[in-house]
Amino acid sequence: MARAADEEGSTLVELIVSMVVLTVAMAGFASFFVNSYRAVYQQRDQREAAQLANTAMEQIRALKGSSLIVGRGEDASTNQWTNNLPAVMEPYYKTITPVWQTDPVIAKTAGADAALSTATQQMTVNGTLYQRSTYLGGCEIYVGKGEGCVKPVSPAPVDSTSVLKFFRVVVLVTWKGTNCADNLCTHIASTLVSRAPEPIFDIKRPSPVVKATSATFYKGVAGQSFQLTATGGQLPNTWTASTLPAGLSMTTAGVVSGTPTTVGTTTGTVTVTDKLGRTDTASFTWIVILPPTVTVAATVKNHIGETVSVKPTVSGGASPYAWAVTDLPANWTFNTDTGEITGTATTLGTWTPGITATDTNAMASATVRYTHIVYPVVSVAAVADRSINLTSSITVTNSASGGDGTYTWSATGVPTGTSMAASTGTISGTPVVPGRYIITVTATDATGGTGGTASTSFALTVATSTQLNITSPTGDLSTPSGQSVSVPIQSNADLLGLVGPTYTVTGLPPGVKYNSGQGILTGKPTTPGTYPVTIVAKNLTQQSTYTFIWTVT
């Protein structure tokens, strides 16, 4: 049967689509094959790097521990760890200290020809260039602490038998690879080699000898234990004790534990017996003390700008103590020898630092947490000068802000007949002596300190035209130092027909005096400052007071 014209067109389209599909499929297969080859090459390179590292490790393990540093000078050894150390080696560097041969005949730069070379070695395997470097350092394991081999601590533990010394050897192999970060691939192998001398076995061990002669426990603290130790003897050792403090017991393995109930010192003996029946008895002192207790004020208060000083005290435990602190404001300091907190209060707020004291045995500690509040400084609102007539009553209300909000008030310079209420700061009453008064009011909060007190001053004039009153000087004075002054003292006594009053003057600046014959204040003020001056005029029946501020510039 013949095809129609449109059927022939469809066949051509089908052919074109098939060609496109085939082309896409071939492109996908090409990408797949390229990625597969890359993965294969990467795995091959990784295996070769691991083999190079393992070969180095086999050579290292064939050496005695004491021979690893032979031929390695100080500079060559340390430069490996400090000059351009690859980032992948940083974790290893944090756990070791560089080591080298200390023989003076070894040059500091030696190491390239050492059995454990300090130089980077290059080798090509299957067309890939590898670089292999061997790093050497020292580390220690502290028995009973549950740590790995770490950088040696200082000072070293007193019990040297609890310290195991090792060399840490790290082999780093690097090569270039497009699938690695920064096109640099790495492989690391690490091992520990004992630094102890080769053991010498002696089956004729000496008799056991008790090693420790005293132990300290803390009253009321549960979970304490102490292991008696001995040198020599054939293990296992068996222990007995003649006496123990109340609350303690001992196993035959020499482990003393329990919760002591009484403070004091108990003296007795301990006996160790080894497997062969040989014994050693030694005098032993059991010490039971109170655990440390830290005391500090429950709440400490300061104002902005004040000096901070918090001194904790400690009782119990065994001195000296090691001190630590937590949650301390950033600009305050802490003395690790005394536990004192010092600084300057610069930020408002409330803090709760924790202070910890650990006694010298490092077996007991105590922590106290206290509240430290920093308030704004106290300020007193200004009071305007005012004037009233004699026999008129007066009420002056004062206000303060800042501090802890609880104030005690006081005032100086108030006229007779008036007083201040210490709890409210209000001045009230009826003045009975005319004149001019400089009144200073002061508010002090319950915290105290330099920032807990503030003052303000104002002038109160008690006026009268019917009684004795000082009419000169008038108002405050300001005079340059060294300048001659002549200030008359006058009153209204003549106008009232009163017998001339006598004057008493106090508070004059240095260099100025009252000339009673001429009735003037005269001289040359010598010292800059602010001086409250008070003049009192008296006759047989009346009195007047005049206070002013004399400023010497």
Report pLDDT digits (tens) over 426-449.
999 999 999 999 999 999 999 999
138 vs 140: CA distance, rounded Å: 7
- The answer, yes or no, to whether the previous bond of 236 is cis (omega within 30 of 0) is yes
* ω into 431 cis (within 30 of 0): no
Residue with tokens 């220690």: 140
Separation between Cα atoms, residue 157 and residue 165, nearest integer Å: 13
137: nearest Cα among 72, 200, 88, 86? 72
Q: What is the pLDDT of residue 6?
A: 45
| Model confidence pLDDT, tens digit, residues 397-411 | 999 999 999 999 999
Residues 6+ apart with CB under 8 A from 200: none
Question: Across residues 538-545, what is the average pLDDT?
Answer: 93
Q: Does the structure show a pLDDT above 50 at 4?
A: no
Contacts of 59 (CB under 8 A, 6+ apart): none
CB 319 within 8 A of CB 359: yes
> Residue 403 carries which side chain, given as an amino acid letter?
G
Task: Grade residue 477 by pLDDT with cuts at 50, 70 and 90.
Answer: very high
Look at 14 and 336; give whichever has higher pLDDT. Answer: 336
Amino acid 377: pLDDT: 98
Using one digit for the tens of pLDDT, what is the confidence trace for 73-125?
A: 999 999 999 998 999 999 999 999 999 998 877 899 999 888 899 999 988 88
pLDDT at 252 > cutoff 90: yes
φ, ψ for residue 20 (rounded to 5)? -65, -45
> Rounded distance, CA 117 to CA 92, Å?
18
DSSP 3-state assignment of 416?
coil
Q: How confident is the model at residue 7 (pLDDT cuts 50, 70, 90)?
A: very low
Any residues with CB less than 8 A from the CB of 308 and at least 6 apart, and which?
A: 300, 302, 332, 341, 342, 343, 344, 345, 372
Residues 297-328: pLDDT tens digits?
A: 999 999 999 999 999 999 999 999 999 999 99
- pLDDT of 40-57, one tens digit each? 667 888 988 999 899 889
C-beta of residue 251 within 8 angstroms of C-beta of residue 180: no
- What is the reported pLDDT for 153? 84
Higher-pLDDT residue of 198 and 257 is 257
Decide: helix, strand or coil at residue 533: strand
Instruction: Determine the Cα–Cα distance for residues 215 and 245; give it in Å rounded to an integer.
Output: 11
Tell me the backbone φ, ψ of residue 290, rounded to 5 degrees. Answer: -75, 145
**How is residue 358 written in tokens?**
């650990």
Task: Mark 19-32 as b/e (b = at least 16 C-beta within 10 Å).
Answer: eeeeeeeeeeeeee
Instruction: Give yes or no for a contact between 433 and 543, defined as CB atoms under 8 angstroms apart.
Output: yes
Of 2-6, 46-50, 251-255, 530-534, the poorest mean pLDDT is in 2-6
Q: Taking phi first (over 0 means left), then psi (-120 to 50 degrees means alpha), and beta for anything else, what does residue 71 get?
A: left
Question: Mind giving me the DSSP string for 50-118?
Answer: HHHHHHHHHHHHTS-GGGTTTT--HHHHHHHHHSS--GGGHHHHTT-EE-----TTS-TT--TTSSS-S
Q: Are strands 543-552 and 435-445 parallel, antiparallel or unpaired?
A: parallel
Greater pLDDT, 7 or 294: 294
| Residues of the chain by 3-state class (helix, strand, coil), percent to 5 | 15, 40, 45
The pLDDT of residue 257: 95
The rounded mean pLDDT for the chain is 90
pTM beyond cutoff 0.85: no
Residue 147: phi, psi to the nearest 5? -100, 165
Q: Quick one: DSSP state of residue 553?
A: -
Tokens of 294: 């830290």
| Beta carbons of 252 and 239 less than 8 angstroms apart | yes
**pLDDT tens, position by position, 113-168:** 888 999 999 888 877 889 999 999 999 998 877 788 999 888 877 677 778 899 99
Q: Is the pLDDT of residue 8 over 50?
A: no
List the domains of the chain with CATH numbers: 38-194 (no CATH), 209-289 (2.60.40.10), 293-373 (2.60.40.10), 379-463 (2.60.40.10), 470-552 (2.60.40.10)
Closest by CA position to 329, among listed 378, 374, 377, 367: 374
At 401, the amino acid letter reads: S
